[in-house]
């Protein structure tokens, strides 16, 4: 898969997650005891934090956005296990977070390599540190 395809898959999955969460908490299953608008905003806010960087295709943003996705991944797993009435929505959430996670990881890795931002191997880091400390003595 190309970097461009991975970017669009990651972007599409992220936007679909935003739509799913917005619909879930405001229209389909609004919380009966709490203001649905406030609840929807609270659930959407974490997904909106990396949106600008994902729209711009920044590999670093794609990488750290996965930390936010884990919250929704765990939410989906919990809802599948606990709430039979919301299992289908939870499965959609689980699928979207999984697609987004995989696409983000692959995009960040490949785009980072294109930009020359790859991580050094541990053996290379150790050699660089050893050379630095030997030269300073």
Please tell me the predicted confidence (pLDDT) of residue 119: 58
Q: Are 24 and 6 in contact (CB under 8 A)?
A: no
Mark out the alpha helices in the chain (DSSP H runs).
3-23, 36-48, 51-56, 59-82, 87-114, 122-136
Please tell me the predicted confidence (pLDDT) of residue 13: 96
Q: pLDDT 10s per residue in the chain (137 long)? A: 899 999 999 999 999 999 999 998 888 887 777 788 888 899 999 999 999 999 999 999 999 999 999 999 999 999 999 988 889 999 999 999 999 999 999 999 999 888 887 656 667 778 888 888 888 76
| Short-list 88, 84, 107, CA closest to 96 | 88
Please tell me the predicted confidence (pLDDT) of residue 17: 96
Please tell me the predicted confidence (pLDDT) of residue 137: 63
Please tell me the predicted confidence (pLDDT) of residue 33: 78
Please tell me the predicted confidence (pLDDT) of residue 70: 96
Please tell me the predicted confidence (pLDDT) of residue 120: 60
CA distance 75 to 132: 46
Please tell me the predicted confidence (pLDDT) of residue 89: 92
CA distance 122 to 136: 21
Please tell me the predicted confidence (pLDDT) of residue 55: 95
């Amino acid at each position: 898969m190309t970097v461009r395809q991975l970017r669009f898959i990651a972007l599409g999955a992220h936007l679909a997650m935003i739509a799913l969460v917005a619909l879930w908490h405001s229209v389909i299953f609004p919380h009966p005891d709490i203001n649905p608008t406030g609840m929807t905003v609270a659930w959407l806010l974490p997904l909106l934090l990396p949106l600008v960087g994902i729209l711009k295709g920044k590999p670093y943003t794609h990488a750290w956005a996965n930390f936010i996705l884990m919250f929704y991944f765990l939410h989906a797993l919990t809802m599948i296990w606990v709430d039979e009435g919301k299992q289908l929505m939870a499965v959609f959430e689980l699928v979207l977070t999984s697609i987004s996670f995989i696409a983000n990881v692959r995009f960040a890795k490949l785009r980072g390599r294109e930009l020359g931002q790859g991580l050094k191997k541990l053996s290379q880091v150790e050699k660089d540190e050893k050379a630095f400390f030997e030269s300073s003595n």
